[in-house]
Structure 1
């Protein structure tokens, strides 16, 4: 016949079974906690690795940024230096352009001055008393200066000036005219014999000169002043015969009429 176990034995058996079950559950829970810890540690390690890597990348970026800023600063400084150099070169080029323009102006002025000085010394055509000839500027100026003195009425100075001109330029185309005004200066200074000598010199060297008829008339005037009436009549007669169409010939006829 079947018998139920005694209560104590049953309870003991039940407790043993419960203890065994509890121990098995604790062991299982313990295993689960270790896995969780390992997972957490792995996550932490992975996160730390990612953080370190991110920090490294950030540091690299900061370094690159600093280097880039330094490079940009250097580039800006180089650009500014280049701008200054360009400005300096531009200023230098502008100054060079101004200097070149000034040099060209001075060169033109110098060339013009040289041309002007050359023209002052270059012989040119001159027409005096209807006669055309070549004379250098200094020669012309000396003659005109002497004539200006005569026109001012300073006959003594004019006599000296014309005598000096003839001495300095013995072959000058001005010579016949200079002899004529020299004779007139001497006449005004009452040097009648000296005047006759120079008027005759004009007639001997340039008988076809426009002043030749006046020179004969002036000789007759000098002879009249010297009380040489016969000589004056001969000179006036020569004038009428040699230059019959001249104005001086008409004046000579009137003088001869008075001399008679």
Structure 2
């Protein structure tokens, strides 16, 4: 075998021996490369997940922030609604108070009107066998003056009845007012004025139940005025006009003492 042949054989043997080793080296490189690729892909995947998670977190944070703002707005709206409702309740309560006050004032006004109407509305009066209508003020004034007669206060009675006669010349009380005015004037020793009052009653209503007493009172005034002749004449007229009256009987008895 030649040297050349032996060299080729050696190279061929070496190549055969080196081939498996190189193949192993190449397998390791590929595995490492695969591992590196896998790691890179894993890292890329992890990074993508981190990015996605960050995006999701950001979205969730944004949504949470929006939700918080919405809740805050809703709470503000609720507070405004509560405030409006409280204001409306206050307004309703004030309105209720105003209505109640208005109703009270209206009631007071109505009561005042009713009272004024009662004061102006005529009342039915029955006095000395006579029935008539009188204004409330008219009745009050007469009753007040007559009350002074009952108390024996002839000064106040005369003043009240004189005013009454002037103010109510057409009153149903007029005849009785003349009679009691005459009595008050007699009590004040105003005999001439008393005669005038009694004669006013007799002229207006001779059938008045107190007409006989008025005539006897005139005779008594004439006696006080030192007019016995006039007194006897008046008693004579009394007996003739009202013969069965108690005043006529008293007049007959009085004649004996008149000189």
CA RMSD, 1 decimal: 2.7
Q: Aligned residue pairs: how many?
A: 255
Q: Which runs of 5+ in 1 are unaligned?
A: 1-6
Q: TM-score, normalised by structure 1?
A: 0.86
The Cα shift of 1:14 comes to 5.0
C-alpha deviations, 1:19-78, integer Å up to 9, x for none? 121012211222222222222212221221122111101110011001101110111121
The Cα shift of 1:10 comes to 8.4
The Cα shift of 1:196 comes to 1.8
User: Following the alignment from structure 1 to structure 2, what is the Cα–Cα distance between the partners of residues 193 and 10?
Assistant: 195
The Cα shift of 1:136 comes to 1.5
User: Following the alignment from structure 2 to structure 1, what is the Cα–Cα distance between the partners of residues 122 and 241?
Assistant: 35
The Cα shift of 1:15 comes to 4.4
Correspondence for 1:130: 129
Correspondence for 2:3: none
C-alpha deviations, 1:115-162, integer Å up to 9, x for none? 112222232222333322122222223223332344443424433332
The Cα shift of 1:93 comes to 0.5
Correspondence for 1:78: 77
Q: Which runs of 5+ in 2 are unaligned?
A: 1-5
Correspondence for 2:22: 23
The Cα shift of 1:186 comes to 2.0
Q: Secondary structure at the match of 2:206?
A: coil
User: Following the alignment from structure 2 to structure 1, what is the Cα–Cα distance between the partners of residues 222 and 44?
Assistant: 151
User: Following the alignment from structure 2 to structure 1, what is the Cα–Cα distance between the partners of residues 161 and 27?
Assistant: 154
The Cα shift of 1:253 comes to 3.9
Is the aligned partner of 1:143 residue 2:150? no
The Cα shift of 1:109 comes to 0.7
Correspondence for 1:254: 253
User: Following the alignment from structure 1 to structure 2, what is the Cα–Cα distance between the partners of residues 14 and 245?
Assistant: 194
User: Following the alignment from structure 1 to structure 2, what is the Cα–Cα distance between the partners of residues 184 and 204?
Assistant: 17
Is contact 2:223–2:258 with CA below 8 Å preserved after alignment? no
User: Following the alignment from structure 1 to structure 2, what is the Cα–Cα distance between the partners of residues 153 and 90?
Assistant: 67
